[in-house]
Structure 1
Amino acid sequence: MPTRHLHVLRHGAADPFGELTGVGERQAELAGRRLAALPVDAVWHSPLPRAVRSAQVLGAQLPGVPVAEAAELVDHVPFIPDPLPPAWAGFFDGEDRAEAAEGERLAAALTARFACPAETETHEVLVTHAFQVAWLVRDALAAPPASWLGLPYGNAALTTLEYRDDRSASLIVYNDMGHLPPELRWTGFGPAARP
């Protein structure tokens, strides 16, 4: 059975304007070095600048591997619970039901394109955003839609999912930052214990 291996990463650290920082470039480079040991067939990225640049830097470590945009990887809120749990009210302040419907449409497009078996053995790298990584993990685990809310994700952390015709999706690696030195882990999440 051919396996579709998805190696999913959040973009590197970005500034408040959405541009990759020097730290983010280093994170992406180290992620690329880690992935260079795999037979990567393609690198797909979100259309947003922080993901585009991360994919370019990462892709430089994978000579000959095509790097291309996938609109389905764009940053968006994939699902808003209704009713909204009080603990999340501030997080979703300003979101309306029309935006929620568009987010659900984008989330469905993301899973339809990438969260499925392939016809041949393939290794694809997806450079996207924290919410999209969480959504793909939630989908692979067949967890309720609101479960994506509790899945934090580090910059340039690696998650690997596998899809085959003969079984359910498998979560192989989640939020792995072993390729990053301690000072580059959890960038963007404020003060916290760092693994």
Structure 2
Amino acid sequence: MSHFLYLVRHGEQQDAEYGLPDGPLSERGKRQARALAERLGGVPFTAAWHSPLERASETARIMTERMPALESQPSTLLMDCIPSGPTPDMPHSFQPFFGSVTPAEIEAGEAQMADAIDEWMTPARGDRHDLLITHNFVIAWFVRETFGAAPWRWMGVNQANCGLTIIRVRSSKPSVLITHNDLGHLPVELRTGLPIEQPY
């Protein structure tokens, strides 16, 4: 029995460079979503969920329009969040990130991600292929969980817009990261959202 999670970061947001908290996809973001839907068209998905935020909801709508057998459901467990706070073993260079983050935001993020892991990082009784359309930090936390890494290690794990990460959840063995931030479906001009320019 195999349980596969297909984790997708939403497409590029319109006017994202202005720091808006949420909004519709840019034209490039829509193209990213369409390209990813074509890439995943042959996957026998069991179910799909997306963050209720507009940029993720629109990504889900565009993708499922091209995958008629699939309907995506909103889930607050996939909302953008801060998955954990600073810890004593965290490198000091990460400390500035938390300057404007409140303890309440950290507490809410920790609770959300604990529930998200309980919801999806569990072995299935039969073969499952689940699509999760969400946000950068959420995917980073799933990757961290796969490796059983220290809580702060989600920081510095980044996904491009409509990048694809696949995790296989197993019952008697640890989970496996099959691919991370796969951009093979996106031409170079559609590869956006990473903190540094890609060397290709």
TM over 0.5: yes
Residue 41 of structure 1 aligns to which amino acid in structure 2?
T
- Structure 1 residues 95 and 175: alpha-carbon distance in aligned structure 2, compared to 1, 3 A threshold: same
Paired with 1:152 and 1:82, the residues of 2 have a C-alpha distance of 20
Mapping of residues 143-182 of structure 1, within 5 Å: 143-182=149-188
Query: Structure 2 length as normaliser, TM-score?
Result: 0.91
2:82 aligns with one of 77, 80, 103: 77
Match of 2:135 in 1: 129
Contiguous gaps of at least 5 residues in structure 1: none
Mapping of residues 1-195 of structure 1, within 5 Å: 2-15=1-14, 16=16, 17=20, 18=22, 19-83=24-88, 85-185=91-191, 187-189=192-194, 192-195=197-200
Q: Is the 8 A contact 1:3 1:118 kept in 2?
A: yes
Q: Secondary structure at the match of 2:175?
A: strand
Paired with 1:35 and 1:193, the residues of 2 have a C-alpha distance of 23
Q: Secondary structure at the match of 1:168?
A: coil
Residue 104 of structure 2 aligns to which amino acid in structure 1?
A
Q: Secondary structure at the match of 2:107?
A: helix
Superposed displacement of residue 191, structure 1: 5.6
Q: How many residues align?
A: 193
Superposed displacement of residue 96, structure 1: 2.5
Q: Out of 73-82 and 14-23, give the one that drifted further.
A: 14-23
Superposed displacement of residue 190, structure 1: 5.8
Paired with 2:196 and 2:157, the residues of 1 have a C-alpha distance of 17
Q: Is the 8 A contact 1:43 1:59 kept in 2?
A: no
Superposed displacement of residue 180, structure 1: 0.3
Paired with 2:116 and 2:8, the residues of 1 have a C-alpha distance of 14
Q: Secondary structure at the match of 2:186?
A: coil
- Structure 1 residues 99 and 23: alpha-carbon distance in aligned structure 2, compared to 1, 3 A threshold: same
Superposed displacement of residue 115, structure 1: 1.1
Paired with 2:139 and 2:107, the residues of 1 have a C-alpha distance of 19
Residue 120 of structure 1 aligns to which amino acid in structure 2?
G
Paired with 1:189 and 1:171, the residues of 2 have a C-alpha distance of 20
Superposed displacement of residue 3, structure 1: 1.0
Paired with 1:135 and 1:189, the residues of 2 have a C-alpha distance of 16
Q: Out of 11-20 and 88-97, give the one that drifted further.
A: 88-97
Paired with 1:11 and 1:55, the residues of 2 have a C-alpha distance of 8
Paired with 2:130 and 2:121, the residues of 1 have a C-alpha distance of 11
Paired with 2:175 and 2:154, the residues of 1 have a C-alpha distance of 16
Paired with 1:190 and 1:5, the residues of 2 have a C-alpha distance of 27
Percent of aligned pairs with the same amino acid: 35
